[in-house]
Structure 1
Amino acid sequence: MTSRQRPTVLVLGTSGLGSGDEEAAVETAVALLRSEHLIDTSNNYSGGASERILGLGLAALAPEERIAAARRIITKVDRDPETGRFDADRVLRSVEESLGRLGVDTVPLLHLHDPYVVTVREALARGGAVSALVRLREEGVAATIGVAAGPVPLLQRYLDSELFDAVLCHNRYTLVDRSAASMFRDAHERGWQVFNAAPFGGDLLARGPRAGARYHYRPASEELVDWTAQAELVCTRHGVSLPAVALALSLREQTIDGTVVGVSSPARLDALLQLAATVVPDAVWDELDALGPAPSPIDDSGYGDDE
């Protein structure tokens, strides 16, 4: 038996776009824009170069292509890179910068990105970052607004404000760590859009267990590498790759609307689409469950007490 997956919903991440050769970056941007998938960027990705390159890619398209592609670009507001300021004024300036780089007037979704330099109370207060996001939605600059970060308790605080339309969480719903599952269910039940970013958590699940493998921005522990090696054996027995299964975990989850995966070239995009087309036998999930929880290095304790 093989498990049926709903239609693949991929979101193409561009955090590294623009950090290398500009001509190659624009070629990648054009490929992403023509793919008909959503594209995820941010004000601070590659120091603003990600949005700028996407803007150049849009300009290279025919007018009818450009209009459709622009409607699929999601971006995020970020704190001031020099002062760390993240209030309403900074949100408005961040959006102004982003729209200018992209060459668009509106975006379908605008996230509050990594709001770690302010407390939740400060962000939600009058004159705080969220008030500006709500204003931008009311004015039609952003059709919807969301919050994007890592720690689940932090995101839950924003979720409970009921002011947003979407949530993006990274590294917390993978084969190694599923701590975002209950928060995703909550958001889904409230009718929010749910985005799961970094389904590989690093190169451990993308390239397999080996010396020097990393997970969640740090070297994977010996225990985690051993657990992943067992998971890879399960995949191999059923004729599927570990990366394909890691991606399918997110694509098959009914509470998740979009799975964000970074893409650095047209070749990587083609490889990702092939990976997403893999059908995973049901027995794989049963055998992975039998391995027990993986020794995840992520500890979000301490984020729930922020005022």
Structure 2
Amino acid sequence: MSTRPLGGSAVSLSPLGFGAATLGNLFREVTDEDARAAVDAAWDAGIRYFDTAPHYGLGLSERRLGAALGGRPRDSYTLSTKVGRLLEPVAGEGGTGRSDEGFAVPATYRRVWDFSADGVRRSLEASLERLGLDRIDIAYLHDPDECGDGGEQALREAYPALERLRAEGVIGAIGAGMNQVAPLVRYVRETDADVLLCAGRYSLLDQRAAAELLPEAVKRGRSVVVGGVFNSGLLADPQPGATYDYKAAPVDLLGRALRIKAVAERHGVPLRAAALAYPALHPAVASVLVGLRSAAEAVDAAAMAAVDVPEELWDELRAEGLLGEESQ
């Protein structure tokens, strides 16, 4: 699998990336064996970009990913993690329950928002310890828009701290990752971030990133990593009960997904392949992240990413009003 340069940095990414929130037991438990097998299968398929965060399973994702990658040449893959949530131990009975925020792990730690400069360094040091690796290639500010002050401290303190670490050569590239487009556009316009991670907002069902974020990234020489291309499940398998943005999919969106699926199948393309191929068409997009929790899912994702999707499929989707003209 080829690699693509990231903005103006020396960091490069494989066009298909491994989103490791799943290794933190997102929604349901994954065994250590299945987590390791997923990473091994992804590696065998040519995937060389791996993304994690302290938030994912209260550090479990970082520990599992670091263990799986630890024996491989460090220069042969790209690793990103995130800052903004510190993990603090929970003492006594408080640590015997289950974690919130969708991860099936014991609540032995609590997440504490911290976008201070000191918090950035403490977060990265803790991540390196959990990963058991010598460096992190990309550091993202994680969901600063969800912090109590609307992300102002992240821009004022955390981002400059990342710039200093990049200048010192501690990190190869820096950026921000969010589920909303407007704050990401602000980072493109007001900072020297190398990369923006946009989750769920550039897919076959949601092209909000196409209006400003992607054109601004191209204009300013920045890169975008797109996550959530299946919109949490609806574009992987549209059927009653499927989820969209981690909630039950509305009836109208389910119907839209089924129409897109029908068009794709008329061109001999599985819906999953079309969902992976679509965001990768934009010149701003350096990599598409997919959450993988098993070897079978990794093999399937690589196979879907290799499908040749004809231009006529996109033309038909636009003609039927299923893709906006701004998404071209």
TM band (smaller chain): 0.7 to 0.9
2:142 partner letter: H
Matched, 1:66 2:77: no
Deviates more, 1:174-183 or 1:130-139: 130-139
Aligned to 1:232: 261
Aligned to 2:252: 223
**Contact conserved, 2:83 with 2:115, CA < 8 A, in 1?**
no
Aligned to 2:312: 283
Deviates more, 1:7-16 or 1:244-253: 7-16
**Contact conserved, 1:112 with 1:148, CA < 8 A, in 2?**
yes
Aligned partners of 2:22, 2:126: CA distance in 1, in Å?
Answer: 18
Aligned to 1:153: 182
1:199-252 alpha-carbon deviations (Å, 9 max, x no partner): 1112111012x1112111222211111222222221222211111111110122
Aligned partners of 1:96, 1:83: CA distance in 2, in Å?
Answer: 16
Unaligned ranges ≥5, structure 2 = 5-12, 87-109
**Contact conserved, 2:115 with 2:153, CA < 8 A, in 1?**
no
Q: Percent identity?
A: 37
Aligned partners of 2:192, 2:283: CA distance in 1, in Å?
Answer: 23
Stretches of 4+ aligned residues off by more than 6 angstroms: none
Match of 1:40 among 4, 26, 51: 51
* Cα distance, 1:107 vs structure 2: 1.8
Matched, 1:54 2:65: yes
Match of 1:191 among 221, 227, 249: 221
* Cα distance, 1:58 vs structure 2: 2.7
Aligned to 1:200: 230
Aligned to 2:194: 165
Aligned length: 282
Matched, 1:269 2:301: no
**Contact conserved, 2:179 with 2:201, CA < 8 A, in 1?**
yes
Aligned partners of 2:41, 2:240: CA distance in 1, in Å?
Answer: 33
Aligned partners of 1:233, 1:31: CA distance in 2, in Å?
Answer: 30
With normalisation by structure 1, the TM-score equals 0.85
Aligned partners of 2:14, 2:117: CA distance in 1, in Å?
Answer: 36
Matched, 1:83 2:123: no
With normalisation by structure 2, the TM-score equals 0.80
Aligned to 2:32: 22
Considering only aligned residues, what root-mean-square deviation do their CA atoms show, in Å? 2.2
Unaligned ranges ≥5, structure 1 = 1-5, 296-307
Match of 2:153 among 94, 97, 122: 122
Aligned partners of 1:96, 1:260: CA distance in 2, in Å?
Answer: 24
